Chain A
C-alpha cells in the first residue's frame, strides 16, 4: 500500500526563538549585541554553556565548558542564566501567538507549534506567509527589536519544523507537497528532526543515506526491517506530511537535578542537598495538584559512573518529608565508589491529589497534609524557602532556580 504526499494546504506553523537565552540577554543589554555571548549554568571555567549567540556559534562555540569557549574566543561574554526573564519572554511570545489562533502548543521554552486550522486567518483567506511576517513584526515590537524567530509552515508539525530550520536566523519558509522533494534533496538525514546518530546508523544499514531515499523507502521496509514496529509506519506518514505528532501526553513525573559544585563523599552533605531537591520537587508536585506513588534517586560519580534506583510505595507521596524519607533510604543503600558529582531525584506514577482518599491506618496523614499546606502557604506569601526543614538551614544559595529545556509547565 503506497500513500501519496499530503497535498492539503499547509496550516501548521513552527516558531522558534533564535539562540533563545543568548538573544534575550543581548536584547536586555545593548552593550553585548553583535558580540559572542554564552549563557552558562555556572560562569566558572568548568561551567557548561547552555546557549550561545550567533556570533559565538560562528566561532565554533556551542554547548561546551566555559574554559573551552574562552580558548576559542577570549572576548566571549559569559553570563549566568536568568530563568524569570526567559519565562517572561516565553509568556509574551505565547500571548502574541494566541492573538492569531487559540491552538498554540508550547514545545519548549523557545518553541511553539501553532495550528491555523479553522482560525480567522484561514477563514479570511489570509496568506500564512503574511501572518508569519506579522508575527515577526509583533515579536520585534513587543519583546525587543533584537529578537528574531525562525518560522516554518508545513502540512504537519514535522515538516513545519524542518521548514523552520532551513534559513536560520530569522527565516520564514513553507514546505508543501510541491516543493517537498526539492527540500529533501538539500538536506541530510541528521537535518530531520527526530533522526539522531543511532537512527541514522540504522537507516544507513538499510542503504538509506539521504532524506529522499528515506521518503522513497517502501512502508514494509520501514515497518518491518528498519524500525521493526509502528514507528516505521509513523515515519512513512510523517515524511509525507501527515500528522502523527499531535499527541498530548499527561504529566508522568516531577524531578530535579543538581550538579554538585563541591564534589563530595560526605553523606550528611549529600543528605542536605537531597532535602533541598526534595523540597523543590515536592513544591512543584503539590502546586500542580498531584501526589505520587514512586520515587527515584540517581547519583553521578567522579569516575563518570552512574547509579540509579527507584522504589514504588503503597501510600501516596505528597509531602517533602515523605519524598525525603524514601530517597534517603535509597541513598543509604549505596556505597559511593568515588565522590558524588550529580544528584537527581524524581517522583513518578503521579495522579491528582484531589479528592483525598484516607486510609484506615494512616494515622495523622491529614495532619501532615495540613502542615505541608500551611508551609506552602507561607512560602507562597513570603517567597520560596521562607520556611524549610531544619536540615536545609543556610542553603539559600544552593540549588538555585535553573532554566528548563523541555517542559514549560512551571513557566
Chain B
C-alpha cells in the first residue's frame, strides 16, 4: 500500500555529461541503503519561485517504490511516499 512519509532523506545523485542527465543513485532511509533501479517518471513544478523536482522510482531489488522530491532552492531531499505495489 501507499504510505505518506514526508521525511528528509540522504541521497547520492549522479550526473552524466554525455546524457546531460542528473539522477538519484542511492537513498538512505531509516538507516537502510536503497540503490535506485528503474526511474518510472520524472517531473517538476514550481512552488512559488522554487522548482520542485519529483523522481518516482523503484529500488534495484524491485521491492519498493519511492517518491522523492528535490527542492531546487534548498537542494534538500524529501521522501514523500512509498508503495509496496500491493492493494491498500
Residues of A within 8 A of B (CB): 24, 27-32, 35, 43, 74-79, 84-85, 87-89, 144, 379-384, 386
- Are B45 and A30 in contact (CB-based, < 8 A)? no
Contacts of B84 in A (CB 8 A): 31
Inter-chain contact A29/B40, CB cutoff 8 Å: yes
The listed residue (B41, B48, B50, B86) touching A85 by CB distance below 8 A is B41
Is there an interface contact between B48 and A386, defined as CB atoms closer than 8 Å?
Answer: yes
User: In the complex the two chains form, is A88's CB within 8 Å of B83's CB?
Assistant: no
- Name the interface size band of chain B: 20 to 34
Decide: B48 and A29 in contact? CB cutoff 8 A. no
| With contact pairs A31-B58, A77-B87, A381-B48 given, residues A144 and B41 touching in the complex (Cβ less than 8 Å) | yes
User: Smallest CB-CB separation from A32: which chain B residue?
Assistant: B85
Cα(A32)–Cα(B88), bound, Å: 12
On chain B, the residues within 8 Å of A383 by CB distance are 47-48, 50
CB <8 Å contact, B49 and A31: no
Return B83 CB to nearest CB of chain A, in Å: 6
Query: A84 to B58, alpha carbons, bound, how many Å?
Result: 20
Please report B residues at the A interface, Cβ cutoff 8 Å. 2, 38, 40-41, 43-45, 47-50, 54, 56, 58, 62, 64-65, 83-88
In the complex the two chains form, is A29's CB within 8 Å of B65's CB?
yes
What's the Cα separation between A348 and B38 when bound, in Å?
A: 47
**Residues B43 and A85 in contact, CB atoms below 8 Å apart:** yes
Task: Closest B residue to A382 by CB, please name it.
Answer: B48
A-B contact pairs, 26 of them (CB 8 A): A28-B40, A28-B56, A29-B58, A29-B83, A30-B40, A30-B65, A31-B62, A31-B64, A31-B83, A31-B85, A32-B83, A75-B86, A75-B87, A77-B87, A77-B88, A78-B87, A84-B43, A85-B41, A88-B43, A88-B44, A88-B45, A379-B48, A380-B48, A380-B49, A381-B49, A382-B48
Q: How far is the CA of A381 from the CA of B46 in the complex (A)?
A: 9
Closest to B44 in A: A88
CA separation between A35 and B83, bound complex, in Å? Answer: 14
A24 touches B41 (CB 8 A): yes
Assess the A85–B85 pair: CB atoms within 8 A: no
Q: Is the CB–CB distance between B41 and A76 below 8 Å? A: no
- CB neighbours (8 Å) of A386 from chain B are 48
Q: Which residues of B contact A384 (CB under 8 A)?
A: 47
A27 touches B49 (CB 8 A): no
Contact of A27 among B41, B48, B50, B62 (CB under 8 A): B41
In the assembled complex, the Cα of A379 lies from the Cα of B48 at a distance in Å of 7
Chain A hits for B65, CB < 8 A: 29-32
Q: Which residues of A contact B40 (CB under 8 A)?
A: 27-30, 144
With the chains together, A31 CA to B50 CA distance in Å?
30
A383 vs B48: C-alpha distance when bound (angstroms) = 4
Shortest B68–chain A CB gap in Å is 12
